[in-house]
Chain A
Amino acid sequence: MWKYSDKVMDHYRNPRNVGKIDDADVVGEAGSLTCGDSLKLYLKIKDGIVTDAKFQTFGCGSAVASSSILTEMVIGKHIDEVRKITNADIARELDGLPPEKMHCSVMGHEALEDALKKYYDEEIDFGVNDNKDSRVVCTCFNVTEDIIKEAIEVNGLTTVEDITNYTKAGGACGRCKGDIQKLIDKYAKKSEPKLSPAQLILKINKVIENVIAPELQKDGGDIELIDINENKVYVKLQGRCSSCKNSVLTLKSFVESTLRDKVSNDIEVIQV
């Protein structure tokens, strides 16, 4: 059994604003029957204000809850405000969703985005991304690079599993998982909290002393930290390491990758 919040349960038990609006100004759609969930979002918009919203959803409890709460979130708001709503906002408003169900909030957001896109096409076109040309990464669930990029940026995702939970991409045959990893490498923020220069130096020094040096010492080698300049770390390999033919490999595949893993993703290690 999924751990749903009380709010999610309330919304799938008593969904708000169910149905269609016959004279809707715009209808946003997302998902499909084959994929296992789909959503139609009907909006009435007057003088830039969403005056009414209704939904019809084919999907699980969290899909219904996401759609239901979304209608509540947009009614009475100006579309400039509505445009700013992200899938993370939908999930937050529901007091969270299980990680495996985050794609339901993404579907809600996709339907909203689709509705706004159609609306702006009819009105004036200002700046909503048109991702029609975006490359399809996951063919099983028809997930494009733009959708994955947005999921990464809005939710701070860092693993392929995250992407699958949020967008479904990679959840069926799994052939696109390599591609997804590349997109994570491309779009995920490299380091979360920015360290001050002094903090950075201390942290790098600590990792070298406590993690890297002991490993090298096991093979009769050692390492000395010479200097740090922004993301460049200057080191000197010592002992057996200094004469080892594989020292470049050691430097890149062990020293640099350890520092990237433990300190910051953009560190470059240079041998002095």
Chain B
Amino acid sequence: MVIYLDNNATTKVDEEVLEEMLPYLKDEYANPSSMYEFSVKSSNAIADARNKMKDFVGAKSEKEIIFTSCGSESANTAIRGAVAHNKSKKHIITTKVEHPCVMNTYKSLEKQGYRIDYIGVNSNGELDIEELKEKITEDTALVSVMWANNETGVIFPVKEIGEIIKSKNPNTLFFVDAVQAAGKIEMNVKDSNIDLLGVSGHKFHAPKGIGALYVKSSVILPPLITGGHQERGYRAGTENVPYIVGMGKAAELAIDGLKYESTEVKRLRDKLETGILKTTYNSRLNSSITNRVPNTTNIGFEYIEGELILLHLSDLGICASSGSACTSGSLEPSHVLRAMGTPFTSLHGSIRFSLSRYTTEKEIDYVLEKLPRVIDDIIRISPYQEELEHLRKARG
């Protein structure tokens, strides 16, 4: 039995998505760029998927969609392309809580001489918009924020940020990493000032190995991967037809499922969250209650360690993830939670549960039934018995 509550890490491929892909893994193997009748179906399938992706992100034209291999490639293409587009400008603004694929790209640009401002967040994970506004100057090539945070699910107000950017410097480009927003909340780039936006297929029930980048028609980007003329010169390499088709289908299903996300998935998430906070006295919510994607909750368990919680949950068939140092392979706990000033008593014991449209009520009930015992067992081992006793009296 697997109870999968780690959908911000990756998702199950939807059956309908797989069905849609199969012909292109079998008989329809033509290279879409070829000049014969056999290739027409492949090239039409890509055009169709591009159109679906256009609707998914809310772009004006399907020409604004580029297929990539993953979210990281989308981010790299966008960021490195944006600074090349604005090549006289040497200043970039981003946040302290970006995903490593974005963060480490800026670290590498920093070494190349770019000046980067990392905007902070408050204890609820909300961005300091005033600080961001103040930092924008004539020299700002790019502002880059994630739409929703992968660890906490907190949503940044990208529409408002876009307006601020363009009112201060119309030439500054705006990149949004929408990997964790895609499929969870509505995206509409044409009504915003977003110039570049990246998504990753496997976060919304397409397979791993496919992503997309929205590039506003007015922005010209040099390709990250050079070679053939595919993707109108923005991204070389023979098109990954089956995966592109799969992501198109997944996007279509995701648009239809948005209502379900914001009602049913949210209801189950809230039930899980409220239940855990009620039944375990050493837990606290690591984000604001509002302004979150509907599927994510991040809960800190004080004075116990996250990896151990995950191992015990795994023994029960429950899959979640942790911002603890021990699970990351690095020795430092989550940079997101640290940026939020999460108290160190719960920093190492933070667990993220992320649901999907496949999550059932029965699964949530099972977790709620089993988790308190797991937490109790681990509490028993903790050297911080006095502190825990204090908490129990105060909250229990």
A residues within 8 Å of B by Cβ? 1, 12-13, 15, 18-20, 33-34, 36-40, 56-61, 63-64, 100, 141, 164, 168, 171-172
Say which residue of B325, B331, B333 sits within 8 Å of A164 (CB atoms).
B331
The answer to whether B360 has its CB under 8 Å from any CB of chain A is no
Q: 9 nearest interchain CB pairs?
A: A171-B331, A60-B307, A60-B326, A56-B383, A40-B383, A36-B325, A36-B348, A61-B311, A34-B344
The yes or no answer to B382 lying at the interface (CB within 8 A) is: yes
Do B311 and A172 have beta carbons less than 8 Å apart? no
Offer 6 A-B interface pairs, CB within 8 angstroms, sorted by A.
A19-B380, A36-B348, A57-B381, A59-B326, A60-B311, A168-B331
Indicate if the CB atoms of B383 and A64 lie closer than 8 Å. Answer: no
Q: Which residues from chain A contact B306 at a C-beta distance below 8 Å?
A: 60
Q: Which residues of B contact A59 (CB under 8 A)?
A: 305, 308, 326
Determine how close the nearest CB of chain B comes to the CB of A98; give it in whole angstroms.
10
* Chain B residues near A (Cβ < 8 Å): 303-308, 311-312, 314-315, 324-327, 329-333, 344-345, 348, 380-385
Q: Which of B307, B314, B384 has the most CB of A within 10 A?
A: B307
A36 touches B381 (CB 8 A): no
**Taking A13-B315, A59-B305, A61-B311 as contacts, is the C-beta distance between A38 and B331 under 8 angstroms?**
no
| Complex contacts, B331 vs chain A, CB 8 Å | 36, 141, 164, 168, 171-172
**A36 CB, min distance to chain B CBs, angstroms:** 4
Across-interface contacts of A141 in B (CB, < 8 A) = 331
Q: Is the CB of B381 within 8 A of A64?
A: yes
Query: Residues of A contacting B327 with CB < 8 Å?
Result: 60
The answer on a CB contact under 8 Å between B308 and A171 is no
- The reply to whether A61 and B383 contact each other, CB–CB distance below 8 Å, is no
Which residue of the partner chain B has the closest CB to A56? B383
Contact call B326/A58, Cβ cutoff below 8 A = no
B332 x A33 contact (CB < 8 A): no
Residues of A near B305 (CB, < 8 A) are 36-37, 58-60, 63
Report yes or no: A33 in contact with B311, Cβ–Cβ below 8 A: no
State whether A18 and B380 are in contact (beta carbons under 8 Å apart), knowing that A33-B303, A61-B308, A164-B331 are contacts in the complex.
Answer: yes
- Cβ of B333 and Cβ of A58 under 8 Å apart? no
In the bound assembly, the distance between CA atoms of A94 and B306 in angstroms comes to: 21
Cβ-defined contact, A171 with B332, below 8 A: yes
* A40 surroundings in chain B (CB, below 8 A): 383
Known: A57-B381, A60-B305, A171-B330. 8 other contacts (CB 8 A): A18-B381, A37-B305, A56-B385, A60-B311, A60-B324, A60-B327, A61-B311, A64-B381
Shortest Cβ distance from residue A111 to the other chain B in the assembled complex, whole angstroms: 10
Nearest CB in chain A to that of B349: its residue: A58
Nearest opposing residue in chain B for A173, CB measure: B332
Given the interface pairs A100-B329, A164-B331, the reply to whether A38 lies near B383 with Cβ below 8 Å is yes
What residue in chain A is nearest B382 (Cβ atoms)? A58
